[in-house]
Amino acid sequence: MDDRWLTESRPWHGLSALRAGLGHVTCLTLPEPSLLPQALDWCRGRGLRPWPLGGGTNLVGSDRPDAGLAALRLAPPADVPVPEASGRLTVSVGMALGRLVARTAQRGWGGLAALSGIPGTLGGALAMNAGALGREMADAVEAMAGLEVRDGSPWRWRRGDGGWGYRRSPVPDGVMLTEATLQLWPVEAAAEASAIAAERARRVRVTPRGRSCGSVFRNPPGESAGRLLEAAGCKGLTAGVFAVSEEHANWVVNRSGAPGRASDCLWLLSEMRRRVRDLCGVELQPEWRLADSEMLLGVD
């Protein structure tokens, strides 16, 4: 126990939007990013591998009783800082993306309304270059900072360093982001609020019912993963409490909300991938984040 941050043993399913994973993990929630170096030392002293974790919106946990990991999370800041006169804004990546977009719009700054319905934290959105309706996080990022969790060394990125792509960011595996500087644009607050509300309503209409981790696979170049999965007969596949949605073949849902085995999610992912590969020779790439490294090796 350390009174500088909240330390808990948590079931993985309680950290996953899909409620996947019956094992447990040590979870550290840091009230401010400056505590990350001390938290890394704490983990190393206990033989735990630090593992950055955002909102868990694309997380499939582990069924292991103890995965030997320490999940590190940043508590969201109390409020969104006020952007500079130029529209530049530096903020902790523990902030929920939707709240960030809505709060800055109230102050007359925006340009990210298309991303307002994406769940999870700013850090998670940056790590995967989240996007919607032709807009991506990369469009607004000026700088990012974090630490390499293996040795605590600093990591920085600035515009011009490159590394962005479709569902790909310059943030390396093993780096925990702490803050980002965004470049926002002047907007009319009421109009931006309407755009945000419209995008959130659209998300509700098109999102399959049930708990989920979002899209299972990235779209291959020039193709739709959902179309390929539907053609391969994946809709309705089930494993435990999880099923491939009948509404969208690239979504796995947990309609009951009950905790389920991560291994069931892995089976669905592998079977969906195999069927598409057998049908058309396309190797789909997962968007899910898998807590168990052995599970990850099993689908690569």
| Torsion, Cα of 274, 263, 300, 231 (10° steps) | 30
Longest Cα–Cα distance of the chain, Å, equals 55
- Assess contact for 5 and 39: CB atoms under 8 A: yes
Q: Is 287 a catalytic residue?
A: yes
Which one of 16, 215, 245, 263 is the catalytic residue? 215
Which one of 135, 167, 200, 277 is the catalytic residue? 167
Which one of 88, 135, 287, 293 is the catalytic residue? 287
Q: Is 204 exposed, middle or buried (0-12, 13-18, 19+ CB in 10 A)?
A: exposed
Rounded to whole angstroms, the Cα distance separating 144 from 93 reads: 9
Q: Is 167 a catalytic residue?
A: yes
- Assess contact for 89 and 83: CB atoms under 8 A: yes
Rounded to whole angstroms, the Cα distance separating 177 from 147 reads: 7
- The candidate with the shortest Cα–Cα distance to 216, out of 246, 252, 256, 247, is 252
- Assess contact for 54 and 130: CB atoms under 8 A: no
> Residue type at 102?
A
- Assess contact for 128 and 167: CB atoms under 8 A: yes
H/E segment holding residue 135: strand 135-136
Where would I find the beta strands (DSSP E) of 149-272?
154-158, 175-183, 185-186, 211-215, 238-239, 242-244, 251-254
Q: How close are the terminal C-alpha atoms of the chain, in Å?
A: 37
Q: Which residue has the tokens 């309304």?
A: 113
Which residues are catalytic, by number?
167, 215, 287
